[in-house]
Copies of this chain bind each other. A is one copy, B any other.
Amino acid sequence: MKIFIWGMGLIGASLAQALRAKGHEIRGAVRSAQSRDLLLAQGFTAITTDENEALAMLKDCDMLALGLNVGDCYRILDTVLADQALYNRLIVFDMCSTKAELLRYVEANYRTARFIGTHPMAGKEKQGPAAAEASLFENSVVFLTPPQEHNANDLKTVETLWQSTGARTCTIDAAQHDEVMAYVSHGLHLAACVIAELSDKVAAAHLPVSAAAGSYRDMTRVATSSGEMWQGITNSNRENIADWLVSYAERLKSLANEVRAGNADIAGLFSEAQRIRNEIMRT
């Protein structure tokens, strides 16, 4: 197939490499000349930084993958789907970490477009096309969130495409997806930042050695992610993230009271946490 990837950061460029290895023809659009040059050096030939050129290159493509932050998807969707031929022809999927808001937009404005929401649960701390790998999606999970009205064949095509990269796919309601993500990822990223933020008191003590061992390193690791990207994710999953943060804060506060009173069942807390973690990590 001829597949156009609009936005080729870590995810978009990794998808490009994975799909090229499967024999697909890849074209793409990026924002910076630097990214374009990096991708040309990776052997891609049809990469543009020009939006009009991108639209021209899209004309005979079969699919459009959006490798953009969710906030940037709206305008590109508007631009591309304004062309009736592209509206009819292209199977479009995004790869954002939040799904419900974008799906509502598509259902409200492009009810009959051939759009499928997708969320590859893959990534690493390094961003951009330089960090891309064809193997990024191997053994990862990709959630598929089709609009209420969708073409079953288009869903199948997108599903098969993702499976060809080595990913396992799971079709799920967009609202449930976003709630689950708040609990296992989105809220956790903000929690990691707050842990780091609070440790300023320790940094200010200027100890001659690092007081931070494995727990600090692991629990703040995701705070090294892109703040710009997480601003977008947070904005587009506000209610679920806020709900999780409130539940988390309330449980921490009641635990604080128990700890202070000396009656916290910490052994029980660990054993319950281990039971649930095993269940989540196993599936």
A193 nearest in chain B by CB position? B273
Copies of this chain in its oligomeric complex: 2
**Residues of A bordering B, CB below 8 Å:** 121-124, 140-141, 143, 168, 170, 172, 176, 180-181, 183-185, 188-203, 205-228, 230-231, 234-235, 238-239, 241-253, 255-257, 259-260, 262, 264-274, 276-277, 279-283
For the complex of A and B, 7 pairs with smallest distance between CB atoms: A227-B270, A245-B256, A196-B273, A227-B267, A193-B273, A242-B260, A223-B273
Residues of B within 8 A of A234 (CB): 259, 264, 266
Contact status B259-A238, CB under 8 Å: yes
**In whole angstroms, how far apart are the Cα atoms of A259 and B189 in the complex?**
13
Q: Decide: B211 and A280 in contact? CB cutoff 8 A.
A: yes
The distance in angstroms between the C-alpha atoms of A259 and B196, with both chains bound, is 18
Enumerate chain B residues within 8 angstroms of A180, measured Cβ to Cβ.
202, 205, 207, 211
CB atoms of B245 and A197 under 8 A apart: no
Q: How far is the CB of A142 from chain B (nearest CB, A)?
A: 9
Distance in angstroms between the alpha carbons of A155 and B72 in the assembled complex? 61
Query: Do B273 and A197 touch (CB < 8 A)?
Result: yes
What does DSSP make chain A's interface, helix, strand, loop or mixed? helix
Given A185-B213, A227-B269, A234-B259, 11 further pairs, Cβ under 8 A: A190-B259, A194-B248, A196-B276, A200-B276, A203-B279, A210-B281, A223-B277, A227-B268, A227-B271, A245-B256, A249-B253
Contact of A191 among B121, B195, B257 (CB under 8 A): B195
* Bound CA span A214–B222, Å: 9
Q: Are A199 and B213 in contact (CB under 8 A)?
A: no
Selected A-B contacts with CB under 8 Å, 28 pairs: A172-B207, A180-B207, A180-B211, A185-B213, A188-B216, A191-B191, A191-B219, A193-B269, A194-B252, A194-B255, A194-B273, A196-B277, A197-B276, A198-B251, A199-B277, A206-B283, A212-B280, A214-B222, A220-B277, A223-B273, A224-B277, A228-B267, A238-B260, A238-B262, A245-B256, A246-B253, A246-B256, A249-B249
Q: Are A192 and B215 in contact, with the CB atoms below 8 A?
A: yes
CA distance A24 to B279 in the complex (A): 46
Given A205-B180, A227-B266, A283-B210, CB of A199 within 8 Å of CB of B276: yes
A268 → B minimal CB distance (Å): 7
What separation, in Å, do the CA atoms of A226 and B195 have in the docked complex? 22
CA of A124 to CA of B143, assembled, Å: 33
Q: Shortest CB–CB separation between residue A95 and chain B, in angstroms?
A: 14
Min Cβ gap A273→B in Å is 4
Is B190 within 8 A of A274, CB to CB? no
CA of A209 to CA of B189, assembled, Å: 21
